[in-house]
Amino acid sequence: MAAWTLPPEQPCWPFDAGDWRMAMGLMALDPARWLMVDDSCPALLAERRVLLTNRHGAVTGFLPGSHDAQAEVLALMADHLPRHFPGAYARDGRHLTCHLTGETWDLDAAAPNPLEVAGRLVAEDLCLLLPGDDGAPVLAAAVLCFPNRWRLREKLGRPMAGIHAPVALYGEKLGRPVDRFLETLAPERPVWRMNWGLNDDPALFQPEEVAHTAADAALTPDNAGHRLFLRIERQTLRRLPATGAILFTIRTYQRALADLTGAEAAQVAHVLRTVPEPVARYKGLPRTAGPALAFLDRVAARATDPS
């Protein structure tokens, strides 16, 4: 499938005119929009292939007992992708072809880790949650090529509280609601949500924590538009009907601040000003918010007063 026949990338937008707020922000997911296929996917899939070859141990993790859930994910994708994106994917019996990469996969020969094949088919990162020893869901398998400041190996086998321990206010505000939601998530009611960050590095593969490192002295309001990137994650959650596992997908989008409209710049600036200090520290905003705000205010001002 030629790249120019793919629909254009349409990043989601996580802001409105209100203050920052700590919330799950869950929305009902249209099953047809479970996975996103657009004109950015060929380059993203190529980058994923490189990472899976050169950094395999860093971007994959599979615990014993997760194979059946992995296989269910691949089977669901093998049904979903050709039906919803027939120009990009084609299935012939047990063989699935991804025209975006030119690869054909034998679905019956995807052992030992079918989730890795699934992670080579789409731009989304894939994380599987399965019940741990106490019944609470733990991260049991993942293909995570585009982490944002966390390492898969440090999270594998952990429950939600352990995975999100570094997240400011998570325990106080979201820990119990998230646990209750996961307990009651039904296969027929998938959901999606958004997350965001402000980075000074455009790389998609960012496993290193830099929130508490010193800001780059060369970052200024004059160059912040091209040096700072709004990183937005479109996340989906669905319970797999056969195994009962929970699949968490992450599609990452990035926009340079220079590409924002005046209205968008004003919304981002307002959110940056209303983020509580613990959250700002967690997100690394002390490194980036000063130049970002100065730049965003200029863009917003020009939009309201072009003269």
Partnered with residue 62 across adjacent β-strands are 141
In tens digits, the chain (307 residues) has pLDDT values of 444 589 999 999 999 888 998 889 999 999 999 999 999 999 999 999 999 999 999 999 999 999 999 999 999 999 999 999 999 999 999 999 999 999 999 999 988 999 999 999 999 999 999 999 888 899 999 999 999 999 999 999 999 988 988 887 788 888 888 999 999 999 999 999 999 999 999 999 999 987 677 788 899 999 999 999 999 999 999 999 999 999 999 999 999 999 999 999 999 999 999 999 999 999 999 999 999 999 999 999 998 876 5
Q: How many CB atoms lie within 10 A of CB 7?
A: 10
> CB of 181 within 8 A of CB of 28?
no
Alpha carbon distance 155, 292 (integer Å): 31
**Distance from C-alpha of 141 to C-alpha of 130, rounded to nearest angstrom:** 9
Query: pLDDT at position 190, please?
Result: 98
* Integer CA distances (angstroms), 6 to 9, 72, 78, 86, in order: 9, 27, 19, 11
By residue count, the chain amounts to: 307
Q: What are phi and psi of 92, to 5 degrees?
A: -130, 95
Query: pTM of the prediction?
Result: 0.95
pLDDT at 97: 97
Q: Rounded to whole angstroms, how far apart are CA atoms 149 and 152?
A: 10
Looking at residue 65, its pLDDT comes to 96
Say if CB 220 and CB 51 are below 8 A apart.
Answer: no
pLDDT of residue 242: 98
C-alpha span between 209 and 253 (Å, rounded): 19
Residue 123 exposed, middle or buried by CB count within 10 Å (0-12, 13-18, 19+): buried
Torsion angles phi and psi, residue 171, rounded to 5: -60, -40
pLDDT for position 215: 80
SS3 letters across the chain = CCHHHCCCCCCCCCCCCCCCCCCCCCEECCHHHCCCCCCCHHHHHHHHHHHHHHCHHHHEEECCCCHHHHHHHHHHHHHHHHHHCCCCEEEECCEEEECCCCEEEEHHHCCCCHHHHHHHHCCCEEEEEEECCCCCEEEEEEECCCCECCCHHHHCCCEHHHHCCCCCCHHHHHHHHHHHHHHHCCCCCCEEEEEEEEECCCCCCECCCCCCCCCCCCCCCCCHHHHCEEEEEEEEEEECCCCCCEEEEEEEEEEEHHHCCHHHHHHHHHHHHHCCHHHHHHCCHHHHHHHHHHHHHHHHHHHHCCC
